[in-house]
A = this chain, B = another copy of it.
């Protein structure tokens, strides 16, 4: 990186961070400059490796930079950093982003090529973090009270998710009239999210030697109706608050077989269902149980979707500020945690979500700046 907003570790340009908690290891870290352009700040964040579980350094730097601003109540919880204003404004917006990334794939440090910034987390979601951090530093008198949540362990199993921990241990920090998650939406406002569930449909047969196959019952052959029902299913398209949720029902895995001379006694089809947020995960699971009537059905995991709640005033204001159009978020995101608390929730962040988790992850620097400006108009 040639134009990073933060000097590298051990760089001659680094300055000691006096405002950091002196008990913390990172006290001598080079400081993050949150006032730098958000695209440069994105590069600086990408250059701080923070694979899930190793977020201490980035959390230290974010915490000290927010404390240094002097106008936020800052709280550290594990590797999650919380900051909020108490300005007595009529509405409060919660702005959240995760600090972790999937494992690095030869794509750190970041690399700038004209308008394109390449590197791990450029899309998912250090550009979103940079947008929020830059606004935290530059919005001196916002029109709404603000709560920032920079959290850890989003890219791993749900039990470790930092936002989930805050939801359980410090739920008052998540209160607000609108939640905005900086997950990549490529410039759009994406409302709510679909629910997701995974289940196993198991077909049983009887083993036999394959030279005497009529003495067995072939579980793989008997799985044919499971695939037929999946192929014949016509998933719904559901419109909520102007957002169109297109459902999906798919076999995502199939396994069966013992050895090439044995008639298999078991075939397991793993099914993933993405469903619109007008149904709960429990309702969606019941419908699948019905579809696979006659077969063993085991729910492996399920997560409710999130209703967009775009008719709420703060949400409607934000959609208007962003150009008046919102679309459905089709993947599952942490907005569902806000929705579960009754808070309207949208996704809004730079980068193409289909690049997330790929080695080729990259983002448009212009898009980072433009989306930051949209959000500034809404919050300013």
CA distance A206 to B292 in the complex (A): 25
A274 in contact with B211 (CB, 8 Å): yes
A227 in contact with B230 (CB, 8 Å): no
Q: A251-B264, A254-B255 are in contact. Are A227 and B220 (CB under 8 A)?
A: yes
A211 in contact with B264 (CB, 8 Å): no
Residues of B within 8 A of A231 (CB): 218, 221-222, 224
CA distance A228 to B231 in the complex (A): 13
Q: A254-B257, A260-B252, A263-B250 are in contact. Are A269 and B220 (CB under 8 A)?
A: yes
Q: A211-B331, A221-B227, A221-B231 are in contact. Are A261 and B252 (CB under 8 A)?
A: yes
Cβ-based interface call for A19 (8 A): no
A252 in contact with B248 (CB, 8 Å): no
* CB-contact partner of A252 in B196, B253, B257, B300, under 8 A: B257
A228 in contact with B218 (CB, 8 Å): no
B246 in contact with A252 (CB, 8 Å): no
Q: Closest approach, in angstroms, between the C-beta of A306 and any C-beta of chain B?
A: 13
Residues of B within 8 A of A214 (CB): 246, 248
Closest B residue to A356 by CB, please name it: B209
Q: Closest approach, in angstroms, between the C-beta of A32 and any C-beta of chain B?
A: 32
Q: A223-B227, A224-B227, A261-B272 are in contact. Are A211 and B248 (CB under 8 A)?
A: yes
Closest B residue to A268 by CB, please name it: B254
Q: Closest approach, in angstroms, between the C-beta of A239 and any C-beta of chain B?
A: 17
Mark out the residues of chain A between 242 and 300 whose CB falls within 8 Å of any chain B CB in the assembled complex.
246, 248-264, 267, 269-270, 272, 274, 300
Cβ-based interface call for A330 (8 A): yes
Q: Closest approach, in angstroms, between the C-beta of A322 and any C-beta of chain B?
A: 22
Residues of B within 8 A of A196 (CB): 210-211, 261
A194 in contact with B220 (CB, 8 Å): no
Interface flags for A213-237 (1: CB within 8 Å of B; 0: not) read: 1100010111110011011000000
Q: A224-B227, A224-B228, A254-B255 are in contact. Are A260 and B248 (CB under 8 A)?
A: no
